[in-house]
Structure 1
Amino acid sequence: MKCPPALATETERLKALSEYRLGRDRPLPSLDPVVQIAARMFGMPVAAVNMIGTDHVFFAASTGFDGTTVDMSRDVSFCAHAITQDEVMVVPDATLDERFHDNPLVTGSAGLRFYAGVPLRSPEGYPLGALCIIDAVPHDDFSPDDRERLRELAKMAADRLELRRLEMSTEEAKPSFGKAVRNSPTAEVRLDEGGVIVDWNVSAAALFGYEREEGVGRSIDIFAAERDRAALRDLLTRAVAARSADGLSMPSGLHGIRSDGTEFLLGVSLFCWGENGSLTISAHLDDLSALQYKRDETLRLANTDVLTGLANRACFYRRVEEALVEGSDAALIMIDLDGFKDVNDTLGHATGDAVLCETGRRLERVVRGGDIVARVGGDEFAILLPGCTDPARAKAVADRAIAALSEPIVVDTCEVRIASTCGVAVAPLHAKGPLELIGNADLTLRNAKSVGRGQSFLFVPELRMEAMARRLCNVELHRAVSDGEFVLFYQPQIRLSDGVLTGAEALIRWWHPQRGLLSPAAFLPALEHGPLAATVGLWVLDEACAQAAHWRRHGVKDFRMGVNLFGVQFRVGDIASEVVAALERHGLSPDALELEVTENIVVDDERVPASLHRLREHGVGIAFDDFGTGYASLSQLKSYPLSRIKIDRAFVQGMLESERDLAVIRAIVDLARSFGLDTIAEGIETANQLDSLRQLGCHEGQGYLFSKPVPTKHFGELYGIGGVGRMVA
Structure 2
Amino acid sequence: MAASVVQRGGDTRTASSLLRGNQMPMWIYDRETSRFVEVSEGALRQYGYTREEFLALTPPQLFATEKTSFVEAKKNGHSGRVAKHRRSDGTSFPVRIHSNALIYNGRLSRLVVASPTDVLLESSPVMLPTRSSWTMGLTDRGLLKQRAAEALAHADRRRRRVAVVSMDIDHFAEVAERHGDAACETCMERVTYWLHRRIRGMDTVARTGVHGFTIVLAELDHHFDIYRVAEALLKIFAEPVKVDDQSIILSASVGIAVYPDDSREFERLEHAADTAMHQARASGGHRIAMFSLESKERTELAAYIQEALKAGSFRLHYQPQYSPTGTVCKFEALLRLPGKNGGFVSPDLFIPVAEETGMIEELGMWVIEEASCQLRTWKSCFDSTVPIAVNVSPLQLKSAGFAQAALDKIRGCGADPACIEFEITERAVLNFNEALEPMQQLARAGIVFAVDDFGTGYSSLQHLHRLPISVLKIDRYFINRLGVQRDADAIVEAIVSMAHALGMSVVAEGVETQQQREIATSMGCDTIQGFLFSAAIEAQFVPLLMGWPEERG
- TM-score, normalising length from structure 1? 0.39
Tell me the CA shift for residue 554 of structure 1. Answer: 4.2
The counterpart of 1:614, out of the listed 441, 444, 461, is: 441
Alignment pair present for 1:490 and 2:318: yes
Alignment pair present for 1:524 and 2:351: yes
- Distance, in Å, in 2 between the alignment partners of 1:421 and 1:587 is 40
Tell me the residue number matched to 2:245: none
8 Å Cα contact 1:422/1:448 also seen in 2: yes
The counterpart of 1:670, out of the listed 493, 497, 521, is: 497
Tell me the CA shift for residue 721 of structure 1. Answer: 3.2
The counterpart of 2:273, out of the listed 422, 432, 444, is: 444
Equivalent residue letter for 1:609? L
8 Å Cα contact 1:596/1:623 also seen in 2: yes
Tell me the residue number matched to 1:7: none
Name the SS of the counterpart of 1:507 in structure 2.
Answer: strand
What per-residue deviation string (whole Å, max 9, x for no partner) do you get for residues 548-599 of structure 1? 2222344464511000011221233312112211221122222201000001
Provide structure 2 residue ranges, at least 5 long, that are not aligned to the other structure. Answer: 1-164, 186-208, 213-249, 281-289
Alignment pair present for 1:697 and 2:531: no
**Greater relative contact order structure (CA < 8 Å, 6+ sep):** 2
Tell me the CA shift for residue 714 of structure 1. Answer: 2.0
Distance 1:660 1:562, change over 3 A: same
Equivalent residue letter for 1:700? T
Distance 1:723 1:509, change over 3 A: farther
Distance 1:686 1:512, change over 3 A: same
5 Å matches for 1:318-357?
338-339=168-169, 341=171, 344-345=174-175, 348=178, 351=181
What per-residue deviation string (whole Å, max 9, x for no partner) do you get for residues 618-646 of structure 1? 11100000011123342321111101111
8 Å Cα contact 2:378/2:385 also seen in 1: no
8 Å Cα contact 1:682/1:701 also seen in 2: yes
The counterpart of 2:542, out of the listed 709, 715, 724, is: 715
The counterpart of 1:544, out of the listed 354, 357, 371, is: 371
- Distance, in Å, in 2 between the alignment partners of 1:694 and 1:336 is 44
- Distance, in Å, in 2 between the alignment partners of 1:634 and 1:500 is 31
- Distance, in Å, in 2 between the alignment partners of 1:481 and 1:660 is 44
Tell me the CA shift for residue 605 of structure 1. Answer: 6.0
Tell me the CA shift for residue 606 of structure 1. Answer: 2.7
Equivalent residue letter for 2:295? A
- Distance, in Å, in 2 between the alignment partners of 1:662 and 1:674 is 18
Once the two structures are overlaid, the 10-residue window that deviates more, 484-493 or 519-528, is 519-528
Distance 1:349 1:703, change over 3 A: closer
Alignment pair present for 1:653 and 2:480: yes
Distance 1:475 1:698, change over 3 A: same
Distance 1:708 1:354, change over 3 A: closer
Name the SS of the counterpart of 1:685 in structure 2.
Answer: coil
8 Å Cα contact 2:425/2:451 also seen in 1: yes
Tell me the residue number matched to 1:570: 397
- TM-score, normalising length from structure 2? 0.50
Larger Rg: 1
Distance 1:533 1:692, change over 3 A: same
Tell me the CA shift for residue 685 of structure 1. Answer: 1.1
The counterpart of 2:297, out of the listed 438, 450, 469, is: 469
Tell me the residue number matched to 2:306: 478
Aligned residues: 313
Alignment pair present for 1:630 and 2:460: no
Equivalent residue letter for 2:403? A
Distance 1:629 1:499, change over 3 A: same
- Distance, in Å, in 2 between the alignment partners of 1:557 and 1:470 is 42
- Distance, in Å, in 1 between the alignment partners of 2:256 and 2:438 is 42
8 Å Cα contact 1:551/1:721 also seen in 2: no
Alignment pair present for 1:680 and 2:482: no
- Distance, in Å, in 2 between the alignment partners of 1:340 and 1:598 is 22
8 Å Cα contact 1:624/1:642 also seen in 2: yes
Tell me the CA shift for residue 501 of structure 1. Answer: 1.0
Equivalent residue letter for 2:273? T
Distance 1:599 1:341, change over 3 A: same
What per-residue deviation string (whole Å, max 9, x for no partner) do you get for residues 467-514 of structure 1? 321111111111111111110000001111x21111100000011232
Equivalent residue letter for 1:348? R
- Distance, in Å, in 1 between the alignment partners of 2:520 and 2:465 is 24
What per-residue deviation string (whole Å, max 9, x for no partner) do you get for residues 684-707 of structure 1? 111221111111111111111110
Name the SS of the counterpart of 2:358 in structure 1.
Answer: coil
- Distance, in Å, in 1 between the alignment partners of 2:184 and 2:452 is 44
8 Å Cα contact 1:344/1:352 also seen in 2: no
Name the SS of the counterpart of 1:348 in structure 2.
Answer: helix
5 Å matches for 1:201-350?
338-339=168-169, 341=171, 344-345=174-175, 348=178
